[in-house]
Amino acid sequence: MNKEIMKSYYPYDLRVINPSTSSTIYRIKMFDTETYFLEDSWHREIEISYKDTNYKPVLYSLNQLDSYIKVKGGISINFLDIISKLLTDYFSLIQVDPGNKWIKEILFNYFQNKSTVPFTHKIMKAIYNLLYRFHFDLDHLIESGEAIDAITLRVNPYDFYPINW
C-alpha cells in the first residue's frame, strides 16, 4: 500500500481489507519505517510490509458524493448537503442549486479532470479535509485497483465500526 496516500487518511481511522483471503476489516494502528500495523475489531494486531499489495484501503468513490452513506453507528449523511452547508454557512456563499448538483459537478471535474474550481484556497482546504475525513477516493485508487469501494462490501466498515471524531 502507498504510505504517502495512507498518511492522508490515517488521522480519520482508515479501514483496510485483504479482499483475496478474508473479510476481516482492519484499521491502521501505527506506521513504522518499512511496515505498518493493522488492528481488527478484537484488537488483534498484524504487521504488514508496505510492499505487500494484498491489503487495500476501503474508500468511497466520488460518485457517492450525492448518496446517503451511513457513518458513526448508522447516521446517514449526504456529503453534498454537508459541503453546501459549509459553503453557505461558514464561507457565506449563496446556494445556487437546492439539489447541490453544481457542487458535485465542480468537484467531480476538479478531481477527475483536473479542471479549475471557483473556490478559494481556504474553501478547498476545508473540502479536502472533509473528503479525507470521510474516506473519499481523491487519488483514483479504486479505479486503479489499489483500493476497495466501501459500497461494494457486504458490511460498510465505517458504519459497523464507528468513526472516532
Instruction: Give DSSP secondary structure letters for 26-73.
Output: EEEEEE-SSEEEEE-TT--EEEEETT--S-EEEEB-GGGGGSEEEETT
Distance (Å, whole) CA 89 – CA 85: 6
User: 156, 60 in Cβ contact below 8 A?
Assistant: no
Can you give the pLDDT at residue 164? 46
The alpha carbon torsion through 136, 141, 147, 149 (nearest 10 deg) reads: 50
pLDDT of residue 94: 61
Sequential pLDDT tens for the chain (165 residues): 778 888 888 888 899 999 887 778 898 999 888 999 999 888 899 999 999 989 999 999 988 888 888 776 677 888 888 888 888 777 676 666 666 777 888 888 898 888 888 888 888 898 999 899 889 999 899 999 999 999 888 887 877 544 443
Residues 117 and 126: their CA atoms lie apart, in Å, by 14
Which of 54, 63, 61 has the alpha carbon at shortest distance from 26? 54
Instruction: Give yes or no for a contact between 14 and 28, defined as CB atoms under 8 angstroms apart.
Output: yes
The grid coordinates of residue 75 equal 447516521
Side chain identity at residue 47, one-letter code? E
How far is 78 from 74, CA to CA, in rounded Å? 13
As given in the structure block, the three cell numbers for residue 54 are: 494484498
Q: Are strands 56-59 and 148-149 parallel, antiparallel or unpaired?
A: parallel
